Amino acid sequence: MENAVLQNMMTRFCCRKFKNAAVEREKLEAILEAGKYAASGHNAQGWHFTVITTEEGKQELLDAVCPEPPEFQKLAPKGATWPFPADFFGAPVVIMISYDPKCPWPDCSAYMAAANMMNAAHALGLSACPLTVYSKDVFKTEETAVNKAKFIPEGYQLYLSMVLGYPEVLTIAKSPRRANVETWL
């Protein structure tokens, strides 16, 4: 079906090589706004977005995370050292999405916001890629737990981080989508 929004969703892709170009504040605000308009459990909107736009900020994040990769990240890319990928794929911006666990369905809602932001980024000529390495457990040790306060509001849990910027290429051939994932009754 011909539709600009659907077309945007179907051409969105996860970029892993970014241009060395800053992202305009106005675009970042529009992307965050799209996140805030996501569906959320009981409309609690229990999310928080931490936006890192400077090299110093990214270095602070690298310095703040656990010295060892989280348990679920043992499948490091071959030859990669922790923290990986330390250059954030060259992206100028990192957005950390956290949630208030006291809210209903907080993790699902955070993902809804992430998806909205990724689609919004694509619509604005940008691209975003989630990075599970900087998600969930990166502040899990006692020493790094104290660092968490710099990035995440008190009582919130980090769920997903994503990198964002202008992609080196504007389109890629999307991998085929899995078939037979529907049940119709």
Ligand X SMILES: Cc1cc2nc3c(=O)[nH]c(=O)nc-3n(C[C@H](O)[C@H](O)[C@H](O)COP(=O)(O)O)c2cc1C
- Binding stretches for ligand X (CB under 6 A): 13-14, 16, 129-133, 174
In the bound complex, what is the minimum distance in angstroms from residue 167's beta carbon to ligand X?
10
Say how far apart CA 96 and CA 117 lie, in whole Å.
12
In the bound complex, what is the minimum distance in angstroms from residue 170's beta carbon to ligand X?
13
Comparing every residue's Cβ against ligand X, the nearest one is 13
Q: Which residues pair with 162 in a beta bridge?
A: 95, 130
In the bound complex, what is the minimum distance in angstroms from residue 146's beta carbon to ligand X?
25
By C-beta, is 103 or 131 nearer to ligand X? Answer: 131
By C-beta, is 150 or 174 nearer to ligand X? Answer: 174
List of E strands, 17-151: 47-52, 93-99, 127-131
Cα–Cα separations (whole angstroms), residue 15 to 45, 154, 164: 27, 31, 8
Provide the token pair at 157. 């849990």
The residue length of the chain stands at 185
By C-beta, is 76 or 146 nearer to ligand X? Answer: 76
In the bound complex, what is the minimum distance in angstroms from residue 7's beta carbon to ligand X?
14
Q: Give the dihedral sign, CA 119/121/126/128.
A: negative
Encoded amino acid at 84, one letter? F
By C-beta, is 37 or 72 nearer to ligand X? Answer: 72
